[in-house]
Copies of this chain bind each other. A is one copy, B any other.
């Protein structure tokens, strides 16, 4: 990495991308991070491909205008529905969360069958199905639209959330011959309920979230040697090694202190208040922007 710190633009529909930012900061602390959360128009997960693509291109344009030299699409729905459009449109390199997540799942799966959960729009796009197929894996896909509102209600360790997760996942691990041995979290909100999901899925099923694997992809792209992974380089946990992802983890003592600027389209106060739970530390330097919506 050059002496010049890289400027990394991170985009999400709202808060979930902060779980990706948290992992990137851990792996690449010596950088300037610009985070754009399109909170006035969230959630993207229930919206059409055309609308999500339009919003995503506006966000990327804004981040470039603020000096971003790399774009991280830290939103599964936007990656699923607009990654091709973003790649064509952007003037700087862009990475999404789906390919790194799929690669991490592929590295772990022995049965070559992976269960993927996400928003309605992400699942309907079959973007994970395609990404896993390229890696010779089969996907079992399931939309779980209630999990994001449950996380945003703060019910991350609540019996209702567990019951909802059990309903959504009741058919996911039934097949004896073609059984998935990885649960891939295809939504950046889900790391907050990873301990709860750990209780719901069979103990021999690994849980992979793309936050950590995306952060590794970024580090690799920037030529930064990542520190030892907290659980594994793939972001996987088995029942025996569950991490408390809801608790802020102390940053590694690595050179350079990250710089942050946050841009949101809805209330700055609300982003400060709710964002800290996702990022794991206080959220400062938040500015309101209006992209004409």
Binding site for B on A (CB under 8 A): 39-42, 46-48, 50-51, 145-146, 148-150, 152-153, 160, 163-164, 167, 265-267, 270, 292-293
Distance in angstroms between the alpha carbons of A167 and B153 in the assembled complex: 13
Specify which chain B residues have a CB less than 8 angstroms from the CB of A47 in the assembled complex: 39-40, 266-267
Check A40/B46 contact, CB under 8 A, given A160-B163, A160-B167, A292-B292.
no
Give the docked Cα–Cα distance between A265 and B54 (Å): 12
Find out whether the CB atom of B160 lies under 8 angstroms from the CB atom of A48: no
Cβ–Cβ contact A51 & B146, under 8 A: no
The interface residues of chain B lying within 8 Å CB-to-CB of A146 are: 146, 149-150, 153
Give Cα distance in the complex from A270 to B163, angstroms. Answer: 28
Contact call A267/B51, Cβ cutoff below 8 A? yes
Q: List 21 A-B contacts (CB under 8 A).
A: A39-B47, A40-B51, A41-B41, A41-B293, A42-B46, A47-B266, A47-B267, A48-B266, A48-B267, A48-B270, A145-B149, A145-B152, A145-B153, A146-B150, A146-B153, A160-B163, A160-B164, A160-B167, A163-B163, A292-B293, A293-B293
Nearest B residue to A40, CB-CB: B51
Complex copy number for this chain: 2
* A293 to B292 CA separation, bound complex (whole angstroms): 6
A121 to B17, CA, bound (A): 23
Chain B residue numbers with a CB within 8 Å of A292 are: 292-293
Known: A50-B267, A163-B163. 12 other contacts (CB 8 A): A48-B270, A51-B265, A145-B153, A146-B146, A146-B149, A146-B150, A146-B153, A160-B163, A160-B164, A160-B167, A292-B292, A292-B293
Who on chain B is nearest to A149 by CB?
B149
How far is the CB of A291 from the nearest CB of chain B, in Å?
A: 8
Q: A41-B40, A160-B164, A292-B293 are in contact. Are A51 and B266 (CB under 8 A)?
A: yes
A293 to B291, CA, bound (A): 7
Contacting residue for A46 out of B50, B152, B163, CB 8 A: B152
A265 to B163 Cα, complex, angstroms = 34
A150 CB to nearest chain B CB (Å): 7
CA distance A153 to B145 in the complex (A): 7
CA distance A270 to B293 in the complex (A): 21
Min CB distance A79 to B, Å, is 19
Complex Cα distance, B40 from A293, in Å, reads 10
Q: How far is the CB of A275 from chain B (nearest CB, A)?
A: 14
Q: Which residues of B contact A145 (CB under 8 A)?
A: 149, 152-153
- 5 tightest CB-CB pairs across the interface, nearest first? A293-B293, A48-B267, A149-B149, A40-B51, A292-B292
Measured CB to CB, the nearest residue on chain B to A148 is: B149
Nearest-Cβ distance from residue A271 to partner chain B, whole angstroms: 10
**Complex formed: what's the CA distance from A190 to B293 in Å?**
27
